[in-house]
Amino acid sequence: MTGLRVIHAGARATVQDSGRRGYRKHGLSAGGALDIHSYHWANKLLDNPTNCACVEILLGGFEAEAQTDMVIAVAGAATSIRINDAPRDGWQSIQLRKGDVIAIAPTRTGRVTYLATPGGFDTATWFGSRSVVVREQIEGIEPIGPGDLLAPTKSNAGFIPRRVPGRFQGNYSERLTLRLIPSAQYSLFRRDDLLRLTTSIYRVGNQSDRMGYRLEGPALEQVPPGIISEGIPTGSVQIPGDGKPIVLLNDCQTIGGYPKPGTLGALDAGRLAQRLPGQELEFCFAEVADIQNERVVFHRFFSKSRWHEDGMDLSWR
How far is Cα 125 from Cα 176, in angstroms, rounded to an integer?
35
CA torsion angle for 241, 247, 252, 255 (degrees, to 10)?
50
Q: Is 206 helix (H, G, I), strand (E, B) or coil?
A: strand
Q: What is the mean pLDDT of the chain?
A: 94
pLDDT (0 to 100) of residue 16: 98
**Domain residue ranges in the chain:** 4-168, 176-286
pLDDT (0 to 100) of residue 156: 65
Burial class from Cβ neighbours inside 10 Å (0-12, 13-18, 19+) for residue 248 reads buried
pLDDT digits (tens, 9 = 90+) for 195-219: 999 999 999 999 999 999 999 999 9
Q: How confident is the model at residue 78 (pLDDT cuts 50, 70, 90)?
A: confident
Of 161, 154, 142, the residue nearest 117 (C-alpha): 154
CATH of range 176-286; options 1.10.630.10, 1.10.10.10, 2.40.100.10, 1.20.120.10: 2.40.100.10
H or E segment and range at residue 41: helix 36-44
Given the DSSP bridges, would you call strands 176-182 and 280-285 parallel, antiparallel or unpaired? parallel
pLDDT digits (tens, 9 = 90+) for 138-171: 888 899 999 999 999 987 668 889 999 999 999 9
Of 55, 77, 76, the residue nearest 148 (C-alpha): 55
Say if residue 1's pLDDT is above 70.
no
